Amino acid sequence: MNYSTMFCLLSFAFLLPTSKTYSQDRPNIILMMGDDHGWEETGYNGHPHVKTPVLDEMASTGLRLDRFYSGYSSCSPTRGSFMTGRHPNRYGTFTPGCSLRPEEITLAHLLKKSGYSTAHFGKWHLGPVKKSSPTNPTAMGFDHYVSHDNFFELDPQFSINGGPPTLFEGEGSAIVIDETIKFIESSKQNPFLAVVWFGSPHEPYQGLPEDLALYANLPAKYPDKMVSLTSNETGTQTKRPLGDVLQERYAEITAMDRAIGTLRNYLKKQNMRDNTILLYCGDNGTPRSGVLASPLRGQKGQIYEGGTRVPGVIEWPAQIKSPRISDVNTVTSDLLPTACSLAGVAVPDRPLDGVNLVPLLQGKMTTRPQPIFFWHYNMRLDSNNKPYIAPELQKGTTPLVKLSGGIPTRNFRNYQHSKITDDQYGGDRSMVDNQYKLILKTSKQGTKRELYDIRKDPAETTNLTEAKPEITKTMEQQLKTWQSSVLNSLTGADY
């Protein structure tokens, strides 16, 4: 069976029954994601410095996903996969700052129609959050949002349901969780979906004094290496000692961890913990400014494991009654089909790249039924095409420290794609199955092939292409078939 056929089998008719057909014990769903939080940057994964007691407890009492992948090696594309269950190249969300397309169907659309109250909090980065944007959280299915176009630090400014930027004083992760709790308070008559996307620990880094104090020894440990990052004072690039930077980065991670603890404690006091699914993951690997030591190769922006493997933990006490560790490959694209299954909703009738993880939650899934694909499409091929959305509608409003083109806000882009040509199949791309990972890199010199036994060699050190030519050839054909499906979607054929 080829993968185009498999995608069709995974997609069902988009028929939504009325909410009256659902039982009242459907789980609440809270899906949280950190910003630039790499796989190794948790206590439970053995980091030498960072303190994440809440995530550590979730990993020790719930379902720990040791092979959880972000849908891409950077933020906007991963967020698209999170919302749609589809690889971001299918709708032109190629890089950070690319928007969704208005025709995409999100998990918020689906659960809202089934009777869930829906809300988004924190970083959006899939288009502007202003009211006129055709891809703001309301347009993408959320009843309520307190959101930012991009990342944020201390004292952030958020848009409330499309309104002008409003200043919120305090630590960013704590504010996001406080707003989430307010939403839950107002939604107790219905099951709810809360998508909570933190702005931490994306640079530039800012920590509270009490969190910085936890890492006061780091500047002296790493005084010599200099790293590039954004200056909080100027919003432009600067260089600072690694130890100073790590102190601030880890302070942000610990503050985010504490905010998650606040949410867990609230759910417990309200007797809501048992039937609430609580997931946390990262959106891509550790960035260059935060890399210290990792058993994985690569970092944010790269197609190696260090660019796409991220922390992943799930709690659902009503169903996950004892702690488990899973080594099944999972990815952010799986969240839509999984949420649909939990809510009793049919998935959209279009190609999906995620799978339903309910069998995994039940302890019944030991291998993944289809591969995971990654692809850094050459966006320059589309950059002269007509805009998919009018540029004025793609202008952001919520300010952030880091300047772009000299301005403190972000604008978005998405391009029309009318035809498929042979040169569009290039760019770094990979396929991960239950044992092997194939990586293809195309340049003017040709295509370089790398094959790794990802189970025995997670650091991707030994290239097996010569030792296993048949596996390499078969996986390359499967990857090409999948790319054809993606390019077909990119033309708008799914709409």
pLDDT tens string 353-407: 999 999 999 999 999 999 999 999 999 999 999 999 999 999 999 999 999 999 9
Residue 112 lies in a domain: yes
Is 88 a residue whose pLDDT tops 90?
Answer: yes
Instruction: Give me the pLDDT at residue 462, please.
Output: 98
CA distance 166 to 59: 35
Q: What mean pLDDT do residues 188-211 have?
A: 97
Q: Mind spelling out the 3-state secondary structure of the chain?
A: CCHHHHHHHHCCCCCCCCHHHCCCCCCEEEEEEECCCCCCCCCCCCCCCCCCHHHHHHHHHCEEECCEECCCCCHHHHHHHHHHCCCHHHHCCCCCCECCCCCCCCHHHHHHHCCCEEEEEEECCCCCCCCCCCCCCCCCCCCEEEEECCCCCCCCEEEECCCCCEECCCCHHHHHHHHHHHHHHHCCCCCEEEEEECCCCCCCCCCCHHHHHCCCCHHHHCCCCEEEEECCCCCCEEEEEHHHHHHHHHHHHHHHHHHHHHHHHHHHHCCCCCCEEEEEEECCCCCHHHCCCCCCCCCCCCCCHHHHECCEEEECCCCCCCCEEECCCEEHHHHHHHHHHHHCCCCCCCCCCCCCCHHHHCCCCCCCCCCEEEECCCHHHCCCCCECCCHHHHECCCCCCCCECCECCCECECECCCCCCHHHHCCCEEEECCCEEEEEEEECCEEEEEEEECCCCCCCCCCCCCCCHHHHHHHHHHHHHHHHHHHHHHCCCCC
For residue 476, which phi and psi values (nearest 5 degrees)? -65, -40
**CATH number of the domain where residue 111 is located:** 3.40.720.10
Backbone φ/ψ region at 490: left (φ over 0), alpha (ψ -120 to 50), beta: alpha
Predicted confidence (pLDDT) at residue 316 exceeds the cutoff of 50: yes
pLDDT of residue 188: 84
Distance of CA 446 to the CA centre of its chain: 31
Predicted confidence (pLDDT) at residue 330 exceeds the cutoff of 70:
yes
22: confidence class by pLDDT, cuts 50, 70, 90: very low
Residue 427 in any domain: the answer is: no
How many structural domains comprise the chain?
1
User: Cα–Cα distances in Å, from 400 out to 118, 121, 161, 386?
Assistant: 26, 16, 19, 28
With 0-12 / 13-18 / 19 or more C-beta atoms within 10 angstroms meaning exposed / middle / buried, residue 217 is exposed
> Residue 8, Cβ neighbours under 10 Å: how many?
14
The type of residue at 103 is: E
- Domain presence at residue 4: no
With respect to residue 475, please indicate whether it lies within any of the assigned structural domains: no
What is the predicted pLDDT for the residue at 25? 81
pLDDT tens digits, residue range 226-285? 999 999 999 999 999 999 999 999 999 999 999 999 999 999 999 999 999 999 999 999
pLDDT at 147 over 70: yes
Q: What is the pLDDT of residue 15?
A: 32
Instruction: Please report which confidence band the pLDDT of residue 24 belongs to, taking 50, 70 and 90 as the band edges.
Output: low
**For 239, how many CA atoms within 13 A lie in the half-sphere containing its CB?**
5
Residue 309 sits at the vertex; the CA angle it makes with 442 and 274, to the nearest 5 degrees, is: 145
Residue-wise pLDDT tens digits, 172-181: 999 999 999 9
Tokens of 98: 């690319």
What range does the domain containing 107 cover?
25-368
What integer is the mean pLDDT of 193-213? Answer: 98
For residue 334, being part of any structural domain is answered with yes
- The answer on pLDDT for 444 being more than 90 is no
> Is 423 among the domain residues?
no
- Say if 136 falls within a structural domain: yes
Q: Tell whether 425 is covered by a domain.
A: no
Mean pLDDT of 114-135: 98
CB-based contact 201:252 (threshold 8 Å): yes
- Average of per-residue pLDDT across 307-328: 97
